[in-house]
Chain A
Amino acid sequence: MFDNKTPLVSAVIVSYNRKEDIRETLSMLCQQRYKNIEIIVVDNASTDGTAAMINALGLPNLRLIQMEENAGVKAYNRGFEAARGEYILILDDDSFPAPDAIEKMIQKFDRYPAIGIVSFTVKDYSTYSTYINSATRTSAEDPVFNDDYIMSFHGAGAGVRREVIEKAGGYPEEFFLYFNETDMALRVCNAGFRIEAFADVICFHKSAPANRTSQRGPFYYTRNIFWTIWKNYPGVLMWKVTLLMLFYVFYYSFEQRTFLYIRALLDAVINVGRITRAPITMEIAKRFRMHYKTPFTMYR
């Protein structure tokens, strides 16, 4: 089933009640130009028959892990533990790589040994047909790497060396959802690996409903940005950014007439015992480009 001549890639996908989306994701993975792929789906206790559908597909290179409850990003870590590949491909259940993306991802890892995470360019799903039919694709020429600042990666499409997860750890399970990539990215960079985005390594992601004003996203995002700062930032910077974030919580609570951000802050404070502090170096913390305002642009 798997060959020993090319590196094995483990695609890890967490599913939750998106049966038709993950069916398409699996179909697209089967159409990859690169063939030595194992697929690990961790189902977060879906109630829409996702697990039954996946079993019925009978894909020989697929393993299904079922969680007992919706455990959020913890499910990804179960997938990482089960992965046997030299490289791990992180996908959402509503995202999939372009047909040549995994092949290109491996080329990048081969060419740049210091890169620990290849961040895919995440395009909107609606552009897929144009991309496939387009004669001209983005040049495969790699950018000059930017040493001024470090960026996180997108959890809807990222390739990770297995040794990166072994050394730096996976997603923070206490986060449940959102901002988990940033927390992991800080640890990955602190462990000495680079994270680079490539314009020609592409995946496609379906959009959330455009006018959704869900409170879940901004709540977890706000709480988890506090936790990320408290976990990772060295002392003085941690205090400075905490004050800045406090200011933003009040500012955007006034502006958007909501208590949502104050609730998220209180949750972060009350449950601070769930996080374990392991500060990164000041050099990494200062170069890391974190968008402190993002949580406050998600609600209204």
Chain B
Amino acid sequence: MMMRNILVIRCTNLQHLDKVFKRLRAEFPDAKTTLLTHRHGAAQAASYTEAVVVYPYTKNYGFFRGMKSLSEMNFDAVVIPVGNISGSGFLNVFLFTLTIKAALRFTCNSALELKPLPKRKIIALLFRNILYTTTSAMLTTVVSAVLLVGWPVFALLTKGDKRR
């Protein structure tokens, strides 16, 4: 497929982003890239592409924090740089991409592999997330109850706290 219009979502450090852009320019030399970034990275983003879109929220990317301006645009592909091999920890960004009109989605991992990320995989990851979230929440409840009752170190630690 001809890639003319690619959206890159900045969710890793600039050092990784340098390599991701190098990879994309080699792979899709004619494509126009748009970079979505939080406000704190906007000045740095200008050195990658002229098309910079600033995420209007200070919180992480998320499905319920979509952008109207972006959802009205059409992209051939969305690329999500992930700072590890598997993409673990970036589900919120994957879900956010569902608010964007794009024919294809890819992750670009720390080894610079471009891996397709079809919508059905995102949905499958979401279901797995629900399972792990439920189990982890139960474990957290149990462990925190144990901590509250049996771990006086915390009380000692907080003894010197002043209300600020």
Contact = CB atoms under 8 A, between A and B. Distances in A.
Q: How large is the interface on A (under 10, 10 to 19, 20 to 34, 35 or more residues)?
A: 35 or more
Given A127-B22, A199-B46, A252-B88, 12 more contacts: A122-B15, A126-B18, A149-B40, A199-B47, A247-B137, A247-B140, A254-B132, A254-B135, A296-B89, A297-B89, A297-B90, A299-B84
A143 B54 CA distance: 14
A107 interface: no
A126 B157 contact: no
Nearest to A254: B132
Interface string B117-153: 0000000000010001101110110011000000101
Contacts of B160: 277
Interface residues of B, number: 44
A104 to B, nearest CB: 14
8 contacts: A126-B18, A199-B46, A234-B161, A238-B158, A247-B137, A247-B140, A250-B136, A250-B139
B84 to A, nearest CB: 5
B21 to A, nearest CB: 9
B103 interface: no
A211 interface: yes
Q: Which 6 A-B pairs have the closest CB atoms?
A: A297-B89, A124-B18, A250-B136, A199-B43, A251-B136, A210-B111
B68 interface: no
A181 to B, nearest CB: 13
Contacts of B110: 210-211
A91 interface: no
B42 interface: yes
A235 B154 CA distance: 10
A290 B52 CA distance: 24
Given A138-B46, A207-B15, A256 B164 contact: no
Given A126-B19, A207-B15, A297-B90, A197 B158 contact: no
B128 to A, nearest CB: 8
Contact of B111 (A211, A250, A254, A297): A211
